[in-house]
Amino acid sequence: MKWRKLHPWNVSPAEALKIQEKLRPKIILRNVIHSREEISLIAGADAAYFPGQNLIAGGVVVMEFPSLKVWEESWMVGKVGFPYVPGLLSFREAPILLSVFSRLKKNPQVVIFDGQGIAHPRHLGIATHMGLLLDLPTIGCAKSRLIGEGNEPVNQVGAFEFLYHQDEIVGAILRTRKNVKPVLVSPGYKIDLKMTVEIILASCGKYRLPEPSRLAHRLVRQIISQIKSGAPLSEPRSNRI
């Protein structure tokens, strides 16, 4: 899988802010996928850090849609090349994730990220930034909000309230399970909010989080645990044809 080289990565936080402002006009929020029936493969992506070390694990799980059967998974471990700065998460995590995506043999039609899409001070959450780089529809699904205000949705599956920032709708507070805290979803790239909500609800199994990003999170945690314990690393799975 190829990705677009839109900017350098060896930059300072001040330069990263300028890159975000430069990329912002390139964001597309109209659907290139017009119904869920057009989706056959959906992916989840996540990254996690090794405690006390300058290392990061990135993982991608590709699943058949709508069955949510695992089709392919890939992971990598590398060094962290950017400091922790709120609002600049993608400059820490995107490089390792791009390397993981480059190993995939088949492109998913949609990717869900554990983070924000346009619900970000400059509309450049990790889902939006990665969407621009991968040129794929992307969604941000986070456990907590970075920006925005909105009401708690009623306690039923599928209920949501709009998330507002400076009088703009930037996402939704979405109830994916009854009696469980809602998630914060926002469109990333080449997708609108209505389709974002539909895909997240269709991607949730028994859990609060959508299966693709939940399994990606589990994958990177397993990799870190195995490396720390010295256990043999499992090879990435593939059902690809």
Topology of domain 28-229 in CATH is archaeoglobus fulgidus dsm 4304 fold (3.30.2170)
pTM (two decimals): 0.94
Give me the residue label for tokens 């996402």.
Answer: 171
Pairing of strands 160-165, 168-174: antiparallel
- Local confidence pLDDT in tens for the 241 residues of the chain: 889 999 999 999 999 999 999 999 999 999 999 898 999 999 999 999 998 889 999 999 999 999 999 999 999 999 999 999 999 999 999 999 999 999 998 899 999 999 999 999 999 999 999 999 999 999 999 999 999 999 999 999 999 999 999 999 999 999 999 999 999 999 999 999 999 999 999 999 889 999 999 999 999 999 998 887 776 565 555 444 2
d(CA 21, CA 34): 29
Torsion of CA 199, 201, 202, 206, to 10 degrees: 140
pLDDT tens digits, residue range 117-131?
999 999 999 999 999
| Phi (first) and psi of residue 30, to 5 degrees | -100, 150
Q: Where are the domains of the chain?
A: 28-229
Give me the residue label for tokens 């009088």.
Answer: 167
